[in-house]
Structure 1
Amino acid sequence: MKLNRGGSGEHGHHHHHEALKFSNFFFMPERPRDYLVLFTRVSVLTCLIFSVSLVLRITFLSSSSASDYSSSYGLRFSAVPQKALALPPTRSLGPINISHVQFCIAGAAETWLDRSRYTSLWWRNTTRGFVWLDKPVKLPKNNSDNRFSIPVRVSDSGWTRFRFSSSRAAVRIARTIWDSYQLNLPDVRWFVMGDDDTIFFTDNLVKVLAKYDHEQMWYIGGNSESVEQDVMHAYDMAFGGGGFAISRPLAARLANAMDGCLQRYFYFYGSDQRIAACVSEIGVPFTEERGFHQLDIRGDPFGFLAAHPLTPLVSLHHLVFLDSIFPNKNPIESLQTLTKPYNLDPHRILQQVNCHDRKRQWSISISWGYSIQIYSYFLSAKELEKPLQTFKTWRSLRNGPFTFNTRPLKPDPCQRPVTYFMDGAEDVRDSGTKTWYSVGDKNYGYCGKREHSRVTRVKRILVTSMKMAPEYWNKAPRRQCCEVMDGGGRRKEKAMLIRIRKCRSSETI
């Protein structure tokens, strides 16, 4: 009985102890100083309750005001799913190489068998990516032809639901960035877009991309050479035929936003315009690299290729619509010829070097691996750097304007250059190369002047050089120099030897 009066075992004692603790917090004061302790404890609890109430009220007001704001101004806010924005780790460390690039090549089943001749010129076993077609295509079974070993896929059929104003194919091609990203291939740092008639110089592409942090959002390429094309479409846009590169973080955002962009920008003509508009919405600017060439020109590309800007050659496009770059050869044979010196010294291909033969008062311009021009009079280095205008604009077939300066092809045959084209290349010891150039007829007309006829006697030119180290493009660019090694005696009139070398510190051209 006594136990029952005092509580029921351990549980009774526990509840009694808790009651004592709670009552002790608000004990009735018996002495004056105890009133101060009571006041302090009540104040702490009051502040705690007020703070919690304030936080809850601010949260409620914020959500209410955002809703009122969107209702008042017709805006709709939607939370972006975190899963959509989550970037898979690149899982890739160290310097970039070609295995870190995934190509997204736009093609069509109707033309792929023919256009594959261009893609096969640069696609290797180490190349990653796919050619995206609109429908399946039956390929011949020919194990000896590497054209038919290039991986081909059919675009996801989802693209057919989007409306368009002029080009339905542009919708599908723009969405290949979505197709490519969904594959989630490992160790991809860059997605490179291009057409099936675009020629990529992959060593130089890797060299250019190495300048940029692939963990950041980058949109890199080149615009059109014809001003009329840039005005019609955009200056701050990478033209798709010349190819452009998108870093993986940007590709993730693009893949997430692409369908909405296709709906909003249905009125654009090209796939590249749609992608550029979507990139702009993400807030990423266009970064221009002058080695990507859309080649929005018509006619003879000789003048343009013979005066390449001082930057690595990354791509060439539209060659199927231009005159062959080498005389007496078709476009494919011409590109095969250009590939020979490229494979020997990829970072030097098409690099322009200018010099003068002071004894004979000649001006010489070399586009390494491609062509040589010799003028029977002096031209300044600034003039030689300007492309000789042997071409017209892409759309209107006019003489310009272009996005670079040109110099006219003089009507007087005596003021036109004698032209030579590369017809041989080989390695030499100590990391050097030799390239041969033979006189090529450009139908520039006959000049009977003695000075000009002395040039035409030269039928063959040998050019020697050391291979250009990849580090060359990591430094401030400086054009190299060249010098004529023979004195032009009678026995050497039909041949010339030229050496390309680094310019001396105080040397000028």
Structure 2
Amino acid sequence: MPSSTVIHHLKSWIIPLSLFLKISLTLSTFLLLLVFFHKVHLYNRTPEFNFNHSVQHYTTTAAPVVGDREPTNISHILFGLGGSAKTWPKRRPYVELYWQPNVTRGFVWMDQKPPENETWPQTSPPYKVSANTSSFNYTCWYGDPSAVRLTRIVKESFELGLKNVRWFVMGDDDTLFFPENLVTVLNKYDHNDLYYIGTDSESVEQDVIFSYKNAFGGGGYAISYPLAEELVKILDGCINRYAQLYGGDQKIQACVSEIGVQTTKERGFHQVDIRGSSYGLLAAHPVAPLVSLHHVEAVDQLFPSLNRVESYRKLVTAYKMDPGRISQQSICYDLQRNWSISVSWGYSVQLYPSLMMAKELEKVLGTFQTWASWSDEPFVFDVRSVSDPCGRPVVYFLDRVESVGNGDTRSTYIRYGDVLEKKCDGENYTATMRVDLVVVTAPQFTRDLWNKAPRRQCCEVMNNKSDAVESTVEIKIRGCHRFESLTPP
């Protein structure tokens, strides 16, 4: 074929070929971009997808409500109370103050079966007899091997296989729980995560001996189901590894530490490692729900003229009227008379004949000593001395609480003489000693308030005019206004 003809044929193919290549390149580029952006889109969606399907295993932050899960209620909690044939008959009345048959779930774990001729009361938690633990090592020279039995309560509770359990809550038979407030606290946390919740001791000497990381067992501690599931797998071997440790709660903390879980501190659990009167502790309670009180037999009665059981019954009666508000402190001034007033709702009111700083009024009155050495200090919170009679308040104790409609309550507090011993002869105390009765009105403390940043509620004196009755002080507790502060003039 002549060269001119070949060239002519080639030229006839160049234009279609060029057009084909351009179209192919354009399509290829478009397809590559489509694939690229599709992958980017999938990549950007991956965390959301993984989060929604793995939150129950890996989320570690606390939240009032996680996703759309059902809020925790009392039926999700299984109590495991450490008891014994020796202690139970005397301590049973305290447990029955908060136990609600067919509502609260759990058992008191005994060291032996009760006598067959005795009928187990329906008002008490049902009992279980702990397994024999004599084969375990226990080498603490100043302790008691029964600590091993108490350590294993969480394991034996788990192995019962009860349904719908989110939290295992351990305590003693001399622990007084406030169940509704316990539910409020546990609702802050996702029960699908690994949680070990409790508090340390009030007495520094106890924390030094037993560890600041220990959630003390008498004050009670909560273990989430997933943590219990992991804990029971190593617990028996762990008990032998820590044979030298004194208490069951120490051993639990050591085993939890092997899993890597840290103690989540909640200030409403109270070990009550103190001697004497717990008045100061309850009269200046932290801004947190009151969850538990331990050593109910070891401290003085809460109210004058009542024994211990009657005292705690009176406190529980007030708690049932407004669970979230029980023992919560509110502070206000009477600027007409230069008085400071501190209210521990449902328990006590303190009246000071001077304007005191809020920082001082928040401090706990030193009405007790340390647990082991009976010393005046140290404690893990600020303590204010009561040695000077003229620095002490006039004290009023709860008389009664009643509902006044719309969810509001009216509580009255009366003076029982000088419960803090020596009186002050100062002139400024004369007017305060004329006050025999304090009346406090308050709205219902809703559970949602605990999901907000903790803030002490405010109060105001309602009858501070010149024509007010001298023998009565009327106080109204309420939420604080914006920019409101307790600042003396």
Alignment TM-score, normalising by the size of structure 2: 0.82
Q: What's 1:373 paired with?
A: 350
User: For residue 228 of structure 1, what is the amino acid of its counterpart?
Assistant: E
User: For residue 97 of structure 1, what is the amino acid of its counterpart?
Assistant: N
Aligned CA distance change for structure 1 residues 195 and 140 (closer, same or farther; 3 Å): farther
State which of 151, 158, 163 in structure 1 corresponds to 2:126.
Answer: 151
Q: C-alpha distance in 1, partners of 2:218/2:235? A: 20
Q: What's 2:300 paired with?
A: 323
Contact 2:270 2:292 in 1 (8 A): yes
Q: What's 1:119 paired with?
A: 95
Higher relative contact order (CA 8 A, sep 6+): 2
State which of 449, 453, 457 in structure 2 corresponds to 1:472.
Answer: 449
> Secondary structure of the residue that 1:382 maps to in structure 2?
helix
Q: C-alpha distance in 2, partners of 1:286/1:232? A: 17
User: For residue 127 of structure 2, what is the amino acid of its counterpart?
Assistant: V
Q: What's 1:138 paired with?
A: 115
1:175-225 alpha-carbon deviations (Å, 9 max, x no partner): 111110110100000000000010110001001000111111100001000
- 1:212 is aligned to 2:189: yes
> Secondary structure of the residue that 2:290 maps to in structure 1?
coil
Shift of 1:117: 1.1
Q: What's 2:439 paired with?
A: 462
Q: What's 1:247 paired with?
A: 224
Q: What's 2:5 paired with?
A: none
> Secondary structure of the residue that 1:452 maps to in structure 2?
helix
1:467-497 alpha-carbon deviations (Å, 9 max, x no partner): 0111000111111111111126566111111
Q: What's 2:213 paired with?
A: 236
Shift of 1:378: 1.4
Matches within 5 A, 1:49-128: 94-125=70-101, 126-128=103-105
Shift of 1:502: 1.1
Q: C-alpha distance in 2, partners of 1:308/1:488? A: 30
Structure 1 unmatched runs, 5+:
1-91
Q: What's 2:136 paired with?
A: 162
Aligned CA distance change for structure 1 residues 177 and 446 (closer, same or farther; 3 Å): closer
Q: C-alpha distance in 1, partners of 2:98/2:241? A: 36
Q: What's 1:423 paired with?
A: 399
Q: C-alpha distance in 2, partners of 1:321/1:493? A: 38
Shift of 1:449: 2.7
1:444-467 alpha-carbon deviations (Å, 9 max, x no partner): 323333320110110011100100
User: For residue 155 of structure 1, what is the amino acid of its counterpart?
Assistant: S
Aligned CA distance change for structure 1 residues 194 and 270 (closer, same or farther; 3 Å): same
Aligned CA distance change for structure 1 residues 423 and 132 (closer, same or farther; 3 Å): same
Q: C-alpha distance in 2, partners of 1:507/1:234? A: 40
- 1:506 is aligned to 2:467: no
User: For residue 136 of structure 2, what is the amino acid of its counterpart?
Assistant: F
Q: C-alpha distance in 2, partners of 1:344/1:296? A: 28
Contact 1:388 1:408 in 2 (8 A): yes
Q: C-alpha distance in 2, partners of 1:198/1:250? A: 23
Shift of 1:260: 0.4
Q: Highest CA radius of gyration, 1 or 2?
A: 1
User: For residue 213 of structure 1, what is the amino acid of its counterpart?
Assistant: D
Q: C-alpha distance in 1, partners of 2:87/2:408? A: 41
Shift of 1:142: 6.5
Q: C-alpha distance in 1, partners of 2:117/2:446? A: 41
Q: C-alpha distance in 1, partners of 2:470/2:317? A: 28
User: For residue 152 of structure 2, what is the amino acid of its counterpart?
Assistant: R
Contact 1:488 1:496 in 2 (8 A): no
Moved more, 240-249 or 116-125: 116-125
Q: What's 2:338 paired with?
A: 361
State which of 152, 157, 171 in structure 2 corresponds to 1:175.
Answer: 152
Shift of 1:93: 5.2
Structure 2 unmatched runs, 5+:
1-67
Matches within 5 A, 1:175-214: 175-214=152-191
Q: C-alpha distance in 1, partners of 2:334/2:73? A: 41
Q: C-alpha distance in 2, partners of 1:164/1:174? A: 12
Shift of 1:141: 5.6
Q: What's 1:335 paired with?
A: 312
Alignment TM-score, normalising by the size of structure 1: 0.79
Contact 1:485 1:499 in 2 (8 A): yes
Shift of 1:319: 1.9
Matches within 5 A, 1:27-38: none
Q: Alpha carbon RMSD of aligned pairs, Å?
A: 1.5
Q: What's 1:396 paired with?
A: 373
Q: C-alpha distance in 1, partners of 2:234/2:414? A: 53
1:68-97 alpha-carbon deviations (Å, 9 max, x no partner): xxxxxxxxxxxxxxxxxxxxxxxx951110
Contact 1:120 1:146 in 2 (8 A): no
- 1:266 is aligned to 2:240: no
User: For residue 316 of structure 2, what is the amino acid of its counterpart?
Assistant: T
How many residue pairs match? The answer is 414
Report the structure, 1 or 2, having the larger helix content.
Answer: 1
Q: C-alpha distance in 2, partners of 1:141/1:497? A: 51
Aligned CA distance change for structure 1 residues 140 and 466 (closer, same or farther; 3 Å): farther
Aligned CA distance change for structure 1 residues 410 and 378 (closer, same or farther; 3 Å): farther
Moved more, 484-493 or 312-321: 484-493
Q: C-alpha distance in 2, partners of 1:426/1:495? A: 18
User: For residue 273 of structure 2, what is the amino acid of its counterpart?
Assistant: D
Q: C-alpha distance in 1, partners of 2:379/2:209? A: 14
1:300-350 alpha-carbon deviations (Å, 9 max, x no partner): 111111000000100000121111111111111001100111101100000
Q: What's 1:308 paired with?
A: 285
Contact 2:271 2:293 in 1 (8 A): yes
Aligned CA distance change for structure 1 residues 491 and 504 (closer, same or farther; 3 Å): closer
Q: C-alpha distance in 2, partners of 1:392/1:443? A: 15
User: For residue 191 of structure 2, what is the amino acid of its counterpart?
Assistant: H
Shift of 1:146: 4.6
User: For residue 319 of structure 2, what is the amino acid of its counterpart?
Assistant: Y
> Secondary structure of the residue that 1:214 maps to in structure 2?
coil
Percentage of matched positions with identical amino acids: 49
Shift of 1:384: 0.3
Q: C-alpha distance in 2, partners of 1:415/1:104? A: 43
Provide runs of 4+ in structure 1 moved above 4 Å: 139-143, 488-491
Shift of 1:114: 1.1
Contact 2:166 2:191 in 1 (8 A): yes
